[in-house]
Structure 1
Amino acid sequence: MFIRTASERDLAAVRALLVETWHATYDAIYGVARVTEITDDWHSIASLKARLTRPNSEFLVADDGKRIGGMAFAAATTEPKVILLNQLYVRPSCQRQGIGRALLDEVEASFPEAHTLRLEVEEANVAAITFYRAQGFSSVGKTADCGGGSGLPALIFEKTIG
């Protein structure tokens, strides 16, 4: 898989990856109906398309020429030198192959002036927490509103970069 900037032609494949990954990860936590509701909103083509043109952001895909195996989206925050990793997802069949690490490396490289990379992760998502800890992130707090508007609680992790 190679990492590249996403384009509009990738959006249907990215949406399919997100729907598959979210159901595999979150059905047991939130239930199928709630996961479908979230993915229909957060991962609609319109929502994904808006990310393509968002200023001070990077929308990446991991592509092997046949399929999209992973994606990441990160954007600058109102805090100087802090980047928020909004999304990093790897298709279940592609996990544990270095794709998440490669996407994370490219996110870090995309913001050379940044000092902190921040993310929010569902407390019950043990696999993601284990991955982020292995990449040098540590827990710095909690939020009651993951992503700003979800009403879902999450842990806040940060990593010093740059």
Structure 2
Amino acid sequence: MSHHVRPMTSDDIPSVQEVAVRSWKDTYEGIIPEASQERFLQAAYSTERMELRLERSRLFVAEEEGRVVGFISTTNVNEEGKAMLGAIYLLPEVQGNGIGTKLLDAAISALSELQELYVEVEKDNRSGKAFYDAKGFTFVREYDDPIDGHVLKTVEMVLEVKQNSGASASVDH
């Protein structure tokens, strides 16, 4: 099945909200209490917050047969060539098909001055950590991250990016 990655528009907000909710439930079941998940998702993925993100960050969606099945969100690159990968989520049923890699490649290519891409991943999120490990992200630090009265162990990782003079980016492994 072919997957198409493109910049997100405001029309995609409801689909992205659905991907976020379904992916979170799948990823964090047994890690974050459900009530905490609900409160976080309502705050982080409200339509108002999503519209702000569209203005201030870079978002791409992955489509399969016209349906949004995943998305990625990054900050813009700062003066030091650094950016944060804020979110990369896929519907559970499409994971493992290379869509996450396509989204990551699109985001990196769009960040022309990027040298280091940082991500924070929950320590117990094994599939997330495995994905970042496979893409060449390396460990920076681990810290406690309180979310709604529940303390998560968060791991910060970084990807060193080598930009070509051309339009595409290559990732050094």
TM over 0.5: yes
Q: Counterpart of 1:2 in structure 2: which amino acid?
A: H
Please name the residue that 1:97 is paired with: 97
Question: Who is 2:7 aligned against?
Answer: 5
State whether structure 2 residue 68 is matched by structure 1 residue 68.
yes
Shift of 1:27: 2.3
Q: Please list the CA deviations of residues 39-58 of structure 1 after superposition, one character each: whole Å capped at 9, or x if unmatched.
A: 1111111111111111xx31
Q: Secondary structure at the match of 2:113?
A: coil
Give the number of aligned pairs.
158
- Distance in structure 2 (CA, Å) of the matches to 1:76 and 1:152: 26
Deviations 1:92-112 (A, max 9, x none): 011000000000001110112
Using the alignment, how far apart are the partners of 1:125 and 1:80 within structure 2? 29
Query: What TM-score, normalized to structure 1?
Result: 0.91
Larger Rg computed on CA atoms: 2
The answer for unaligned runs of 5 or more in structure 2 is 164-173
Q: Give secondary structure in 2 for the equivalent of 1:103.
A: helix
C-alpha distance in structure 2 between counterparts of 1:146 and 1:35, whole Å: 13
Could you tell me whether the CA contact under 8 Å between 1:117 and 1:160 is conserved in 2? yes
Aligned AA for 1:129?
K
**Whole-angstrom distance in 2 between the partners of 1:15 and 1:135:** 26
Match of 2:19 in 1: 17
Are the structure 2 counterparts of residues 146 and 127 from structure 1 closer, same or farther at C-alpha, using a change threshold of 3 Å?
Answer: farther
Per the alignment, do residues 136 and 103 of structure 1 end up closer, same or farther by CA in structure 2, a change over 3 Å counting? Answer: same
Higher strand share: 2
**What is the deviation of 1:119?**
0.4
1:116-156 CA-to-partner distances (Å, cap 9, x unmatched) read: 01000000001100010000001111243489xx9744100
> What one-letter code is carried by the residue in structure 2 that aligns with 1:138?
T
| Pairing 1:48–2:59 present | no
- Distance in 2, Cα, partners of 1:79 & 1:158: 17
In structure 1, runs of 5+ residues without a counterpart are none
CA-based RMSD of the aligned residues comes to 1.9
